[in-house]
Structure 1
């Protein structure tokens, strides 16, 4: 029997990309985008004042695994034609997080009250984009199977500092048997714009995670006997860095709630 959350997910998966985006735009859907819009690239977002943009661009260039850059907007524009002609980045995400001076202020479903004409939007790749490839290869993605947001954790893995930005990596986790973990590594290595291969697997404490059952973001998933946790770099990393770097304002997606683009995952894969 499907629980209500699973029923909603099944219903959403039958919608066209345009129909799904419209539901998000009018706030009729505000949940996780994991498992939705199969085949299409999902993206993390970071919005910063123009005078902080060059430093963050350099940070992305120095940390391409955690921050795989897809595109950058002009200051004050919520549009980026390269990812979709009908996408309004200020409205087409289920939930946004707003930070002032590095401190989380509020979550909102659109940016009508927080938009500024000097904001530059960075569109970054997301691991949700390779989940479809894992499933097509016969692997079970536990967060999708259980209808939960992916588990995400703060770590002690230091990013390369750039300008005013520095901090540690955030990772997402999906459990697999050792045999399936090897296959998952092979598959995700083909998607460098979606964080690529895992950065760690096995003992969580080796990267500073004290309790695998208590994620810092998202929801916990079951890890069965014989499985190992596998960790990928995560697009929530900039949110961790923002807390340390303290820009006057920064707007991001809420963890697990991505911008769904018109780009095809396979167009960005490396054979």
Structure 2
């Protein structure tokens, strides 16, 4: 967002008005130290349900619970001072009914102090999004590849190709009309991402979508290269911290086994008491 807006806390209505350049910047955070780092540079900090895979070793986001999101949300809140903090609603906490979504969204906001929630789904979730927005809960939408629906989608495939493009367009229009202040577009073709960005009045946040989106989001651990084996096409590595960490841990282990750590400069010298002069021994 503009430099003049950086001093004040960013709000969901402020994001909603931000169509066009400069692009919105969004990264994930699950801990206080990372939240402090990304808050200094981002417009939106997302406590994503990707925490299940990144921090807890789960094979997908489906095992993430509301309590897990609240725990990590509280930690991130301590580190966020300026960016808009958004927390994902995990699988099974909002699909049943608008009332179920409202109960769980209010708990998320009350216990974490977040400013908005994010939920996945298109036309089928429009009623729920409208229900939440009408009751004071800002909602970020998420369409295209929706990881919580990975089993019904048949894997982490690009969405919106061929006849599927019209489905994603309808989803975008429905979510925007329902009141979402922004919409994540995940893993859709470039042309479709551009078209949807032009068609809907709220900002699009791309992840594997298009450079034409109104903003971009990545998982922080992915763009920092924390995982050496995970290299999706849409992630640019801005560092290789996983390799650096592995080398540092190997060096520490080697020095400990060789007796070279700790060295004299890493330990505290003893002041050995001495017997007073003339004292009997």
TM-score (ref. length: structure 1): 0.30
Counting helix residues as a fraction of each chain, which structure ranks higher? Answer: 2
Which one scores higher on RCO, CA 8 angstroms, separation ≥ 6?
Answer: 1
TM-score (ref. length: structure 2): 0.29
Counting strand residues as a fraction of each chain, which structure ranks higher? Answer: 1
Structure ID, larger Rg: 2
